[in-house]
Structure 1
Amino acid sequence: MGEHFISDDASGISIAELRAEHYESGFGIFHSTPRLSWRFAATTVHGWKQTSYEVVITRNGQVETYRTESSTSSLIPWPSTPLASREIAYVRVRATGTGGLQSNWAELTLEAALLQRDDWTAELIGGPSPVDVDAPIRPFCMRKTFNYVPDQGPARLYATAHGLYEAEINGQRVGDHLLAPGWQSYHHRLHYQTYDITALLRAGQNTIGVYVGEGWFAGRLGRPGTSNIWGDRLGFLGQLEVDGRVVCQTGSDWELLEGGPVLNSEIYNGEEYDSRLYDPSWSMVQSAVPNTRQHRVSVLPFPMAELIAPEAPPVRRIIEVQAKEIITTPSGKTVLDFGQNLAGWLRINVDLPGSPGSVMTIRHAEVLEHGELGTRPLRTAKATARIHLGGPTRGYEPRFTFYGFRYAEITGYDGVQLSDFTAVVISSDLRRTGTFECSHDLVNQLHENTVWSMRGNFISVPTDCPQRDERLGWSGDLQIFAPTANFLYDTAGFIGDWLRDLAADQADLGGIVPTVVPNVPMPPRHNNRQPMAAWGDAAVLTPWDLYQFFGDVSVLRKQWNSMVQWLDHGIPRDGDKNGPGFYDMNMPQFADWLDPRSPPALPGHTPTDPFLVANAYLVHVTQRAAEIAACLGEEKHAQRYGDDAQRLRQRFRDEYVTPKGRLSSDTQTAYVLALHMDLLDGQEQITTARDRLDWLARWDAFKINTGFVGTPHILPALAKVDAINIAYRMLQEKGCPSWLYPVTMGATTIWERWNSMLPDGSINPGQMTSFNHYALGSVCHFLHAHVAGLSATAPGWASALVRPRPGGTVRWARATHDSPIGPYSVSWQCDVLSQTMRTAVSVPPNGEARIVLPGIDVVVGSGEHVFETAWLADPDWPPQIIQGAQGQPVEATYAP
């Protein structure tokens, strides 16, 4: 028993990647002094720590060398003078550490984007004013011919839009970005993209063409929906430079082309396309565009928003999925089943036969209901593609919309073949960092469903669903899911950018954090200008989660004013004479949204007192703000918020907790929040709450009875109070409501409701049902941190905790996380015959891990480590339910 050492080999220490800030590459960065970070590859070298590093920077032919004694390898300050707009610098880094062992030289080419507003000399151009501002805006094309002399340096296109755009040069698409420039709070911040177009240019005359659609900027958003939230004039801003000299830019001399093949394209309703109007030469020199009228463009006011080259990676094509089956429905419709609920669209792989005037229609849906396409959850979203036939269709994909679907119903085209269409999965192209797998197949599918739901909802902003008339950036959903998201993917740039929009929109509301970001007008009953606990608390908790995972204290500094505004001005308080009080009970709360016992039509009517939930969060978030203030050196705020948290915690106990630890709301969520957020006083209250939560879990036959707020914390809370057997029993439950019930129903993504589909195959009767909604996938944090046993103990994963907690019928598990310093991994397996547990741990160079196993509590450095410890299966598994005195017996339905 104990640790088995794996000897060092000759692989040494290797830097796997060198990065600037949180960019996916060094191209087009929006920082004059970019911080540098390097991740190490896995190693078998034991105990290696960086002691110094060398940075070599080549700028304008001059070489600068810097050597620093430091163990830090993440977000080190830029050692040179600030970069200028468009400047290119070549960076090399080498690390030296324990025993003088050195890494390889890692290299990165940096190129600054346009860093100053006055670097832009282009004008924003667009089409004519809309005749009907309430009608969808038809996409339009614009183009310009210019001269290019080769061998004069690199060529770049800087581009953005009010709306969505795709650019072409000489008939070739520019870049691989989709739905550019993405979705932002356009009045405050407007992203622009930088493209290397050198290879697309040719000597002499060249033509650049741009297709523009309404997208999020002017399209209908929300329900029943509001159009033109940020404006009703679509426009494109583009500047084409060669070696820093402008050779073409948007202005009044561009041509406007009307009559292109995209007749209509809306985020919710889909796209209508006329293949007969397709002209591949429209963006080529001397194009003769048939049936197309040419006009001068309109010059529009220059964007008022700050122009930013974002750190978040763009939306791209991620995966392609082929149809698995052709289904003929009971009504005779033809439906393609792709076997996976996804976000994206269909690409047509053939030239479809059809006489001029005939139309093929594709309707999209996530599920079938009694054999037919289940479109009711789409509500007012049509989610339909209409293709006018008679022209070429091979290769068609929509430009300015996307769909959430597993099933596609095809009408207007007979003889559908599986190979005729391909599902193109789109997502913000985040780097995958975390994996998990265990011996329980249904749990593995649950984890995979979470990954797919994150993939389908991280499209420019973190949305709630990709299919219906919503697709909005709900702040509460991300707040509870962020720890899971941060483990699975590198979200530093993506969530960090969204938080900047949150702060900008919050400032417009006097400190209130909108419930959806970017801020979209909502119906009065879902007023997103109304302060909501847990949702608004994303202003404090989500930056902290980012800091814990990525170690970037600047995110706390950037969001600090937002946190103060929320706590001091945004939260509606009662009249507590002793200081900032509890939530004003005259202001409704979402609270434990979608508790499974809530009526279908009233998802916020939960058994848990909504103000117990709100005030528990208030104590928690105030305490967290005190810790953040201390981290930032804001001593007065740290003292004030710390004192407020202590006083509010005592008031919580006085109002909601009995002296022995029972809670006024006798629900799973109430006890979970009290335990998770340290709201109880002394061991007696903790023991009472623990025992009561245990009792409620058994009384509910291990079914889940938490909503959005209780769900992410219930299994970690049980693990925290050594009720791991109850946590596993709830995890492995497959009756409704439970995490595994959707899996047994064939789900391939996470559902919004525990019973989005009823056991008889009917869709939940409520008006709000989604089958791709990542929030309840927050359970994966428990899988990562407790089942596999891998979590961070210092910001940026400078150190980790490895503490697997075997339980239930799970006999092995493994997880990996490629952290900011390099990959950690843990793999454990229990042997029933030998009654031993073997745990293998890998720690990256410059990292360390505390290993907590039965009889072992040690800290290890880099390298691979193996431990063998005694293990006994739980003799009382499975835990038993508590049956009432009357009624039919309740059956346990756990998945062994």
Structure 2
Amino acid sequence: MKIHPSIFVSPKGEQILDFGQNMVGFCKFICREERGGQIHLQYGEVLQQECFYNGNYRSAKAEYNYTSDGCIKEVEPFFTFYGFRYVKVSGISKIDPKDFTGVVLYSDLQQTLQVSTDHVKLNRLMQNSLWGQRGNFIDIPTDCPQRDERLGWTADAQVFVNTACYHMDCYSFYKKYLNDLRYDQKVHYEGDIPMYSPSLKKAAGSGGAVWADAGTIIPWNLYQAYGDKRLLDENYSMMKEYTDTVITVDKKDGNHHIITSGFTYGDWLAQDGVCPQALLGGTDENFIKSIYYKNSLDLTAKAAKVLRKKEDERYYSSLSNQVRKAILREYFTPVGKLAVDTQTAYVLSLYYQVFIDKNKVIEGLKARLKKDLYRIKSGFTGTPLMLPVLFENGMDEEAYRILFNEEFPGWLYAVNLGATTIWERWNSMLPDGRVNGINMNSFNHYAYGSVCEAIYKYIAGLKFTKAGCKCALIAPKLNYRLKHMKLAFESPLGTYQIEWFIQEDGVFQMDVMIPYGATAKVILPNHKDKRIDELTSGEYHYCYMPVIDYHHPFSESSIVLDLLSNKEANRVFRERLPRIYAMVTGEDEEFLAMDLIAFGYHKMFGTSLDEIAEAGKALRVIKV
């Protein structure tokens, strides 16, 4: 893949090539300089005050020097690559951008997904995730491709594996990475898994929870994606030996089945730490370690069942049940409330099915999200699982609200600031365009791009329920924020296609194609008869009026955040309820998660319920 740049001169007089996309590879050029001419290329991801910048690369020089021999020739570097969007060129007095070409490098993996929507920013987010995968899938899944690191961090690899396998055929790529993990495990880590692999001959520390759990999560998820029992069998020893190392830690901790020792990065780079720039999140690390201990026991037991290792299945399943009971005793109140009040804790509880009363955990998550004004506070551990948990547990509105949030912290915040890949931090760049610190700040860090799994699985509606994509659940989750989505996925069995519309008259239309040898259950969203179809291969068409009006979503029951985010609803709110509007748009943000009706019960707002009801009538006629 090749990209041709434009050129501009910075306020400092720098000649800078702009390739329009944060990419990984190199810049080749036609050299026309006289013999002895010195050409210097410097690579960077972002600009600062419209000038060249790569301070976030830390000690990486990210440069290329060439001395001309006087012959006109095409020049390119060998044995290296760069992460960049911009190239500063020195040594050429008059630059012709046609002489320069950006060469994109990534492992040669077939793209298996084509997807689009009617929402430009969501399309850009999905492209950013794909470009992040391209740039970081060069032989190993690196965390970032540009600074003095480029390491195969295990947590990044495992949280992204499902999204990666939608985007591309990653079977061979991840198989090779599992070989790297297994080599490190056997040669350097005595059954444990390092924080990155290749470990550079044990330069890496032990991964700890979430990171080391790549040793069980990736093999199992690859089996789910491709249905290859042989690959699962090849990696079963790694799964078993890693899980056994955690069992050993448990025994050393007193065999209480709560992991209290050892290292973990926890909910890395979450927004609920001691400060917004904190590296560690606020979720109890022992809770995270114990949850992932249980999950690795579960996955090893599931793998044993597939491979018909009945004794192992019984052993790991039994121990998993004991760990579950221990977590419930330690972290839940007798009536079933989760005692760790963070977004990530609730998400882990629901995702990994560890709770006394599921409804109480759902209520706790709803309350936590409302307190956090529906702004995502989770980090590397909680974020990839957030939207799947919300969609799986009937919180579709919360999932859409978080996904489509355009303020910090959120995925579209970066899109609004011109991101063309996924960032390492929610606030890698400040709203005024300044880089927010250089110590830990990559603008091509694919982990948070794992959100696309939920977009494809729940919004497009293609969720696989049997290994190897043999059976799908097609059940799009609709919302007024999106009116059209089209997805085509090349599975191991063939192509699945889903395209749905919410038409101008409110009618829902969906076309589905299922490949030969596959089956699907189709749950039609908000059908008046709650229709469910069991289908075999073929093409199918649906058209009906849903019971929910997706063109008129606003009323007095809408929360302030939703009203403010829509131009027309914002206007009605401002004109009909000026006193409330003035208060909620001031410095105090605590009212943003309230619905309008709630304001009528507080005298301090000076507005009656009748006035709010009249505003509701005006809101109901707004068509989106």
Counterpart in 2 of 1:334? Answer: 15
Distance of aligned partners of 1:628 and 1:869 in 2 relative to their CA distance in 1, 3 Å threshold = farther
Per-residue Cα deviation, 1:814-858 (whole angstroms, up to 9, x for no partner): 21110111000111111252x321111001112111111132211
Distance 2:49 2:169 in 1: 40
- 2:138 maps to 1:438: no
- 2:77 maps to 1:402: no
What SS does the aligned partner of 1:481 have? helix
Distance 2:138 2:170 in 1: 12
Counterpart in 2 of 1:554? Answer: 230
Distance 1:652 1:528 in 2: 30
- 2:459 maps to 1:790: no
Q: What is the letter of the counterpart of residue 803 of structure 1?
A: A
Pairs within 5 Å for 1:357-396: 358-392=37-71, 394-396=73-75
Counterpart in 2 of 1:750? Answer: 422
- 2:540 maps to 1:865: yes
Which stretch shifts more, 411-420 or 334-343? 411-420
CA drift of 1:801 comes to: 1.3
What SS does the aligned partner of 1:427 have? coil
Distance 2:146 2:472 in 1: 38
CA drift of 1:593 comes to: 0.6
CA drift of 1:598 comes to: 3.9
Distance 2:246 2:350 in 1: 26
CA drift of 1:873 comes to: 3.0
* Runs of 4+ with deviation above 6 angstroms: 599-602
Q: What is the letter of the counterpart of residue 226 of structure 2?
A: F
CA drift of 1:591 comes to: 0.8
Per-residue Cα deviation, 1:158-210 (whole angstroms, up to 9, x for no partner): xxxxxxxxxxxxxxxxxxxxxxxxxxxxxxxxxxxxxxxxxxxxxxxxxxxxx
Aligned CA-pair RMSD? 2.3
Per-residue Cα deviation, 1:511-540 (whole angstroms, up to 9, x for no partner): 110111111268xxxx73324111111111
Q: What is the letter of the counterpart of residue 369 of structure 2?
A: A
Counterpart in 1 of 2:411? Answer: 739
Q: What is the letter of the counterpart of residue 19 of structure 2?
A: F
Larger radius of gyration: 1
What SS does the aligned partner of 2:31 have? coil
Q: What is the letter of the counterpart of residue 240 of structure 2?
A: V
Counterpart in 2 of 1:673? Answer: 348
- 2:20 maps to 1:322: no
What SS does the aligned partner of 1:498 have? helix
Counterpart in 2 of 1:426? Answer: 105
- 2:126 maps to 1:450: no
What SS does the aligned partner of 1:514 have? coil
Distance of aligned partners of 1:580 and 1:540 in 2 relative to their CA distance in 1, 3 Å threshold = farther
Counterpart in 1 of 2:333? Answer: 658
Which protein is richer in strand relative to its size?
1
Aligned counterpart in structure 2 of residue 478 of structure 1, from 157, 163, 182: 157
- 2:560 maps to 1:889: no
Distance 1:603 1:463 in 2: 22
Distance 1:840 1:435 in 2: 15
What SS does the aligned partner of 1:395 have? strand
Distance 1:580 1:354 in 2: 74
Pairs within 5 Å for 1:641-790: 641-681=316-356, 685-790=357-462
Distance 1:452 1:844 in 2: 28
Contact 1:339 1:406 in 2 (8 A): yes
Per-residue Cα deviation, 1:214-272 (whole angstroms, up to 9, x for no partner): xxxxxxxxxxxxxxxxxxxxxxxxxxxxxxxxxxxxxxxxxxxxxxxxxxxxxxxxxxx
- 2:489 maps to 1:817: yes
Per-residue Cα deviation, 1:308-345 (whole angstroms, up to 9, x for no partner): xxxxxxxxxxx10010x322222211111111000000
Distance of aligned partners of 1:613 and 1:570 in 2 relative to their CA distance in 1, 3 Å threshold = closer
Distance of aligned partners of 1:571 and 1:409 in 2 relative to their CA distance in 1, 3 Å threshold = farther
CA drift of 1:751 comes to: 0.4
Per-residue Cα deviation, 1:91-128 (whole angstroms, up to 9, x for no partner): xxxxxxxxxxxxxxxxxxxxxxxxxxxxxxxxxxxxxx
Distance 1:887 1:505 in 2: 52
Pairs within 5 Å for 1:207-246: none
CA drift of 1:881 comes to: 5.4
Distance of aligned partners of 1:825 and 1:873 in 2 relative to their CA distance in 1, 3 Å threshold = same
Per-residue Cα deviation, 1:243-302 (whole angstroms, up to 9, x for no partner): xxxxxxxxxxxxxxxxxxxxxxxxxxxxxxxxxxxxxxxxxxxxxxxxxxxxxxxxxxxx
Distance 2:277 2:213 in 1: 23
Distance 1:394 1:830 in 2: 55
What SS does the aligned partner of 2:39 have? strand
Contact 1:591 1:610 in 2 (8 A): yes
Which protein is richer in helix relative to its size?
2
Distance 2:297 2:347 in 1: 18
Contact 2:560 2:591 in 1 (8 A): no
Aligned residues: 564
Distance 2:253 2:260 in 1: 14
Contact 2:15 2:88 in 1 (8 A): yes
Per-residue Cα deviation, 1:67-91 (whole angstroms, up to 9, x for no partner): xxxxxxxxxxxxxxxxxxxxxxxxx
Aligned counterpart in structure 2 of residue 840 of structure 1, from 493, 499, 511: 511
Q: Structure 1, unaligned stretches of length 5 or more? A: 1-318
Contact 2:140 2:152 in 1 (8 A): yes
With normalisation by structure 2, the TM-score equals 0.86
What SS does the aligned partner of 2:85 have? strand
Distance of aligned partners of 1:600 and 1:369 in 2 relative to their CA distance in 1, 3 Å threshold = farther
Distance of aligned partners of 1:799 and 1:809 in 2 relative to their CA distance in 1, 3 Å threshold = same
Per-residue Cα deviation, 1:750-801 (whole angstroms, up to 9, x for no partner): 0011111111211121501100011000000011000000021111111111
Contact 2:502 2:508 in 1 (8 A): yes
Distance of aligned partners of 1:754 and 1:808 in 2 relative to their CA distance in 1, 3 Å threshold = farther
Per-residue Cα deviation, 1:371-404 (whole angstroms, up to 9, x for no partner): 2222111111101000112333532111100000
Pairs within 5 Å for 1:39-54: none
Distance 2:275 2:90 in 1: 33
- 2:293 maps to 1:618: yes
- 2:276 maps to 1:596: no
